[in-house]
Amino acid sequence: MSVPRFREKFTSKPFFNPSDFLGYMKKIGALSDRPAPRGVILGYQNSLFKYVVENYKTSAAEGYFGSYLRYIDEPFAGSGQVAIAANFGIGAPAAAFIIEELIAWGVQEFISMGMAGSLRKDLPPGSLVLCTSAFRDEGTSHHYVEHDEPAYPDPELTSRLEKALRARNLDFSKGPTWTTDAIYRETPAEVVGYRDLGALVVEMEASALFTIAKFRNVPIASCFSISDTLAELEWRPEFHSDTTREGLEKLFHAAVDALMA
């Protein structure tokens, strides 16, 4: 069985769009009048969100977006131009839900950053990775474009993020990711297969986000801090290590630099 089941989907209009939902939110008084930030960092780890809130002046978005989005007001130039969205869940469906509504709200560009599992022995936990493409092994993107369409980040924003990483003298690798919904069904055959295709890491959001951003004509880039490894064909987790946490913090600073460039 292919996804989606009905091929007519790609030539049919949906019943409603994210802008229709936000129109409903505004009608019932749940949408703030404050303008959307120009750029948003999509985060998935509570530790990063806590780090940002504790170390920088931020303000919560009011109304509907207030539960997961905070404007970064200081010390960065251009108060309110950049925000971080977090605590909304993990995986392609959750990330797709968020990016669709933020695009409809008026956000102009995105950087997705989170943890990823390494597929290579030379990328231990704490390593940083700049994503150049994604293998689509999740279900969400297949409801936007045909299954053989590639998933790439925006080249210009990715270049800005790379320059920001280099400007901060950070060591990082560049390469593809394998995106899957089924974190507890990752197998040795898949690790070997995707590694042979060039994938450096495995995670749960990138290919869906790249596909949706292209579909909506909005730039996105992505980067990862290695939190665990499958490179030896056994699982070694280090989600709560200092190096993993510090990797996310380093990526956050570079992401803000890139969005403000």
Domains and CATH numbers, the chain: 16-260 (3.40.50.1580)
Condensed to tens digits (0 to 9), the pLDDT of residues 37-61 reads: 999 999 999 899 999 999 989 998 8
Residue 218's pLDDT is what?
98
Structure token digits, residue 202: 């495995």
Q: Shortest CA distance to 65 belongs to which of 98, 38, 39, 114?
A: 98
Instruction: Provide DSSP, 91-152.
Output: SHHHHHHHHHHHHHHT--EEEEEEEEEE-STTS-TT-EEEEEEEEEESSGGGGTS-TT--B-
User: pTM here?
Assistant: 0.95
SS3 177: strand
Confidence of residue 163 (pLDDT cuts 50, 70, 90): very high
Locus of tokens 């993990």: 90
